[in-house]
Amino acid sequence: MPTTQDFKRDRLMSLVTTTKVIPRQHLAREADLMMSKWPAYRFMSPEEATALFIDAYKVGVKNYTRQTNDIELAERIQPAKSLCTTHNNRYYTQAWMARQVADELGMPYPAYMEFCFDFAGRRRRRTTPQMNQLGPSAATATAWNESLPKFWTLDRWSIEMRRMEPDARYCIDYNLDLPAQRKFKEEATVLS
């Protein structure tokens, strides 16, 4: 079982790697996003959350391809196959920024993918949206912002909260009155 020292060492190494790979202007938003992101992701490092986002994107691409194109192609397709997460590159930075949009909205990544790919599927597209094309663009911002509240309703939020895996850090026994714990406590009162 990992010790506290192991956790601290791994977290420090993650931060060092992140500062080498992601431009600083994108790292500055992370402190604000910690409180707005989905509760299951609040104690994750941004690097871990981005990896989870990329995995959700891969599933979303396969589902989108299955619905809009071809079932057999959906099984063969390998989205984000060449994505390198260890060196500074545009594709990983785009994935990082796309994840930040989902975190700002406070949505779990699979639900965010479901909405974005459904929204993209309503328009005629020749290609599957890349990660940086998931959120609203200047041309689609009005329609995107009108559609999102119809998808991400209080009922949907409540269902997703109930589906969330239990996390010991939100238990009363482990309450350290951290900001993420206080926010979760406020959110949990809405469920009761």
Reported as a single tens digit per residue, the pLDDT across 47-90 is 899 999 999 999 998 888 888 877 777 677 777 777 767 777 78
Return the C-alpha torsion angle 65, 68, 72, 77, nearest 10. -20
The verdict on residue 171 lying in a domain is yes
- Whether residues 98 and 140 share a domain: the answer is yes
Closest C-alpha among 99, 100, 106 to residue 38: 106
- Whether residues 53 and 147 share a domain: the answer is yes
pLDDT for 7 beyond 70: no
Q: Give the Cα separation of 151 and 33 in Å (integer).
A: 21
Q: Is the pTM of this model over 0.75?
A: yes
Give me the domain span that covers residue 127: 44-152
- Whether residues 157 and 94 share a domain: the answer is no
| 11, two tokens | 């977290």
Please report, as a single letter, which amino acid is at residue 35.
Answer: M
pLDDT in tens, 82-113: 776 777 778 888 888 999 999 999 999 999 99
The verdict on residue 38 lying in a domain is no
